[in-house]
Amino acid sequence: MCNRGKQMIHERLDMNARYANLMLFRLLELFYDSKGKGARFRTCILGKEDIVNHFKDEGLEFSEESWGENRDRCHDFLKQLGIIKDLTLNIKDNEAEIRIQSCIHIPMEEMLKREEVPPYTCIPANLLAYGIETATGKQTEISKIETGKDLCKINMLLFREDEARAG
């Protein structure tokens, strides 16, 4: 990628966070109003391959061997962009627990809650899901999102490929 292309990417990322969250809030609110609970099954790709492909030139690549390595890459990438302060991901059996601290999207989630739209999608968690899927071959599904003042807790289910098709 040429230097001008990289500069344009960085210029877009310097967008005002309040503005970006307000636009994302409105889009997610409208989508939820249109699709109801089905919206969560349509937004699970938001932040997966598109972000990985977009930032591949800046070194964002995922291991096919280790979900832990992918977790660390997501952590470093999201922290470097100023999206999060910290994150943890623990997997036990077929369940994952993600904790994200100081996410730039928390104010948007709080606006959605005030409009009685439950948290149903998480872009950083979707990126982590991509890393899990790449390394384990399992499909993922966010089962629960809890948001607080400075912390989001996301529970994710992992399915073998044949289980995902059967469901």
pLDDT tens per residue, range 119-161: 989 999 999 999 999 999 999 999 999 998 899 999 999 997 6
Residue closest to 130 by CA, chosen among 122, 32, 27, 35: 122
3-state class of 2 per DSSP?
A: coil
Name the CA radius of gyration of the chain, rounded.
16
8 domain residue, yes or no: no
pLDDT for res 16: 80
57 domain residue, yes or no: yes
5 domain residue, yes or no: no
125 domain residue, yes or no: yes
Task: Return contacts of 61-70, CB within 8 angstroms, 24+ apart.
Answer: 62/130, 62/131, 62/134, 62/135, 63/131, 63/134, 63/135, 64/134, 64/135, 65/135, 66/135, 67/91, 67/131, 67/132, 67/135, 67/136, 69/135, 70/128, 70/130, 70/131, 70/132, 70/134, 70/135
CATH number, domain of 119, equals: 3.30.1380
14 domain residue, yes or no: no
3-state class of 105 per DSSP?
A: coil
Token pair recorded at residue 98: 């993600």
Residues in the chain predicted with pLDDT less than 50, given as ranges, are: 1-10, 12, 164-167
Note down the domain range covering 28.
Answer: 19-166
Q: Does pTM surpass 0.75?
A: yes
pLDDT for res 143: 93
147 domain residue, yes or no: yes
3-state class of 86 per DSSP?
A: strand
Q: Which residue has the tokens 């400075």?
A: 150
pLDDT for res 21: 83
Kindly report the CA angle at 62 between 94 and 68, in degrees rounded to 5? 45
Burial (CB count within 10 angstroms: exposed 0-12, middle 13-18, buried 19+), residue 110: middle
Token pair recorded at residue 21: 């969250």
Token pair recorded at residue 54: 């977009």
41 domain residue, yes or no: yes
Domains: count for the chain: 1
36 domain residue, yes or no: yes
The rounded distance, in Å, linking the Cα atoms of 111 and 25 is 7
